[in-house]
Chains A and B, each alone.
Chain A
Amino acid sequence: MIVIENLSRIYRKGSNEVAALQDLNFRVQQGSFVSVIGRSGSGKSTLLNLIGGLDRSDEGSLFFKEKDVMQMSRRELALHRRFSVGMIFQSFNLIHSRTARENIELALAFGGKSRRERKKQAMQLLEAVGLEDRADHQPTELSGGESQRVAIARAMANKPSVLLADEPTGNLDSATSGEIIELLQNLNKQEGVTILMVTHEEDTAHAVSDHLLRLSDGKMLEERRISQ
C-alpha cells in the first residue's frame, strides 16, 4: 500500500545541513498496524509528515497506492491529506474556537459534504468515539483523552485508508493512553484502517503493532514484522 524507496529529507539552514531521514526503504501492507519508534530527533515525525503529504522529500519516492506522493502537485497533496490519510497529533491540534462537532464538520466540509450530511456524520463519528454528549463543548472544556478522541473522529471523517498517529498518547496518562490505543486497535481490526503510529513507548509498540520500524538519526535501524 505504501512503498518507500531511498527516501531522504534534509533540513538546511544557511550552510548547515541536517539529515532528518536518510535513504529509507520499506513497505507497509494494507490493514497493518505499524509502529515507528526511536529517540527524539530520529526522524519519526518527519517520516509521518512525508507520508501525510505535509512535507516533501529531497530524494527518493513515496508511493501511496502506486502514486508517488513526492511528485504530487500542491493541489494533489491537499486531496491526499483530505481523502487518503488522516492525522492525529500529540497535542491533538483541535481548533479552539470551534466545538468538538464543528472541528469534525470542518474536515467533512473540506471533503465536500453538505451541511446536513456534515452534522449527521459528525454526530455519528462522535458517537463512535463515545463523545456524543460532548459535541457542543469547546476543546478547552475537554480532557486530554476526550480531545484525542475528537481528533481521531476528525481524522476518520473522510474515511481515509491510513491513519497517521504522531505520539497520540504522549500527553496522556497511562489509563487514558490505553483507551486511545484500544480505539486505534479497533479501527485497525474492525474497520481495516492501516495505522502508522509514532511512539516512544516500546512496550505499547510491541503489544499492538504487527510491523515495527526503529529509526535512529534518520536511518532505519531495525525493521521487524511481529505476529500478534
Chain B
Amino acid sequence: MNYPDKLIIGLANLWRMKLRSGLTILGVVIGIGALTSMIAFTSGIQKNITDTFEENDVFTSMYVTPVKADPSSIDLAETMKEGISSLDDDILDSIRTIEKVAIAHPEITFPARLKLKNKDDKTRIQALPKAMEQYKPYSDLLAGRFFSSDTAKELVINWRTLRSLGIIVKHKDIPRDFTENDSLEEYRILPPDSILGQTIELVSAKLDIGNVMKNPLKAATGTENVFTEESMPFTIVGILNVERNISAAGIKGGAIIPSETAKAIPRLDFTSVWDLLGNSGGGGQYSSIYVRVDDMQDLETVKKSLEDRGLNVFALADQLDQIRNAFLIMDAILGAIGAVALLIAALGIVNTMVMSILERTREIGIMKSIGASDHDIRTIFFAEAGSIGLVGGLFGILLGWAFAFAAQIVINQHILPNDELPVDLFYFPWWLVLGALAFGLLVSLTAGLYPAIRASRIDPVKALRHD
C-alpha cells in the first residue's frame, strides 16, 4: 500500500469521527494561532525597529560629541583636560579626512516659527548640507526635490508640519482622520504639486543684547522683551516622505533648510552647555557632528579612529544587538505561552488517537488478517495524527493572522491617536508561516507516535475477538 493510500485512509478515519476530529483540530488551531500571533507580534515590533534603523541609515550613521565631563568627578577640570571639550571646524575638518568617512556635518537644529498664509506653527528647523540628498530619508522624498545648493533659500517640509499649517497632503499613505479639535480648524487637502513652489516664512527669534544691557532688571523680570523676531522667505521645494515606522530617527525637525543658509539666520540655538557658553553656530562650535560611512562594515573602524582622537561616539547600531537579545527573550516568553496551548492540543491528539485505537481494535485486526503490516498500521495512524497537525496548523495560521488583523485595526483605530500613521504591529514572515506549519506537524506526529506504535503492535487474534 502506498503512502497516498494510507493518507486517504487516515483522512477517511478522521472524517468518520467528524465531531471528535474537529474538536481535536480546534485545539491545534488555537495552539498554533496563539503561537503564531505572539511570534508575529514580536517579529512585527522587531521589524519596525530594524526597518527604522535601515530607513534612516542608522547602520551607517554615528554622532560625535565632545567627551562627556563626569559630573560626579571631584576634579572636573582634570576630566575636561583628558579629552576634547568642544567640537569646532578644525575637528570637523579632521573628521572629514578619516578614511571611509563619506560625509560629516555639524548637527544644527533650532526652534523657529513657520508661517504659511494666515497660519503658523512652532517647530524645529534642521540645517543640512545639500550632499545629504543622496542618503535616506532625504533621497526618497514624497514630492519635489532637495535644495539646489547649500545657500539656496529653499526648504523641505514634513507632512506633519504642513498639517499644522492647515494643509493635508493628498496622498494615499497620509491619514486624513479628524479629531474633534481638528474639525474646528480649516484644512485644505492639496495634491503635493500645488504645495511645491509656495513661499513660506521662517520666523526666528534672537536675543536682543542691546535691550538687555539697557534694561537688565526689566529683562530679568520679563517686563521688557529681550527677543526680536526676524523673518526670511523660503520656497517649499520638497515634502519629506511618510515615515513608515513608529518613529523616524533621521528627521529631527519639522522642516529642513540648507546648512549655509541656516548660518545667516539669527537664532537661539543653545542645545547644549557649549552653545550657552557662547560661540555656537556662526562661531564654528558645535554640540555634535553627524558622521556617515558608505558601508556598514566600515562603521566600527571609523568609530574606533574617532574615539582614538578623544571623541565620544554614539552609534545606534551598537544598541541593535541588545535590542535583538531583548527580542529573543520576548520571543521565548511569548513562544512558551503559545507552546503551552499547543502542548494541551498535543494531549488532545494523544487522547483522540488512543480512543480511536480502542474503537478500531477489531478493524486493525481485520486489516492485519488481510495483509497489513505493522508499518502499514503505524503509517495510517501517523497520517491521521499528521493530518490533524497539518489542518490544525493551516487554520491556526489563519486564526493567528485573523487575530493580528483584528488587533491591528483595534490598535490603529482606537488606541493610536488619529493623526498617527497606522503601524504594522504584526509581521508574518515566510519562516513563521512555514515554521508554524512544520511545528504543528511535528507536535502532532510526536503526539501520534505512541498511539501509532500501540496500534501497530496489536495482536491480530485478540483484535479479531474484540467487540
Interface residues of A (CB under 8 A from B): 49, 52, 54-55, 74-75, 78-79, 81-83, 87, 89, 93-95, 97, 106-107, 109-112, 115, 154-155, 157-158
Contact = CB atoms under 8 A, between A and B. Distances in A.
B369 A111 contact: no
B320 interface: no
Given A54-B369, A55-B461, A82-B370, 10 more contacts: A75-B375, A78-B371, A79-B371, A81-B371, A87-B369, A93-B464, A95-B363, A106-B367, A115-B5, A155-B370
Contacts of B2: 112
Nearest to A84: B371
Nearest to A105: B5
A111 B366 contact: no
B371 A110 contact: yes
B369 A52 contact: yes
B1 interface: yes
A91 to B, nearest CB: 9
B374 A49 contact: no
Nearest to B5: A109
Interface of B: 1-2, 5, 12, 16, 362-363, 365-376, 460-461, 464
Describe B's contact surface by its main secondary structure. Answer: helix
A125 to B, nearest CB: 13
Most buried by A among B5, B362, B374: B5
A107 B368 contact: no
A107 B1 CA distance: 9
Contacts of A78: 368, 371-374, 376
B285 to A, nearest CB: 86
Nearest to A77: B373
A182 to B, nearest CB: 23
A101 to B, nearest CB: 14
B368 A95 contact: no
A195 B375 CA distance: 29
Given A74-B374, A75-B374, A97-B16, A109 B1 contact: yes
B366 A93 contact: yes
A81 B368 contact: yes
A122 to B, nearest CB: 13
Contact of A81 (B16, B369, B461, B464): B369
A75 B371 contact: no
Pairs A-B, 3 closest by C-beta atoms: A82-B371, A78-B373, A110-B371
Contacts of B16: 97
Contacts of B373: 74-75, 78-79
A155 B1 CA distance: 17
Given A95-B363, A95-B366, A83 B461 contact: no
Contacts of A49: 461
